Amino acid sequence: MSRGHHDVGGLPDAGAIEQSEHQLSDWEILADAVNQALGARGIKRTDEMRRAREEMDSETYRDMTYYERWIASIETILIEKKILTKDEIDRRLAEFEKEWGEP
């Protein structure tokens, strides 16, 4: 097993902690809102979201930004709980891309 990709505390090559404030994009605020709404409805717990991130492919995890990981975990949990299917999500995504272009 050894340590997970999320558990980097104390690693010599973990890098410095980014402490500067930055402006959130609209989609990041929306990701937070979706997360809060799902929590309020008892659909997911923070611990489940964390576990979903920990179980991701390590390369994908490292390549994603903070809120991208949130979205990916929400997707995993919603599919796991049979609230949405991967097909439904992909189909909707294709519709958005057609309407708005590639993200």
Q: Please report, as ranges, the residues that interact with another protein according to CB under 8 A.
A: 1-4, 7, 9-10, 45-48, 50-51, 54, 80-81
- Nearest-approach distance from CB 31 to another protein, in angstroms: 20
- Nearest-approach distance from CB 4 to another protein, in angstroms: 8
DSSP 8-state assignment for residue 84? S
Question: How far is the CA of 71 from the CAs of 1, 15, 45, 59, in angstroms?
Answer: 26, 24, 14, 16
Task: CB nearer to another protein: give 47 or 99.
Answer: 47
Task: CB nearer to another protein: give 8 or 24.
Answer: 8
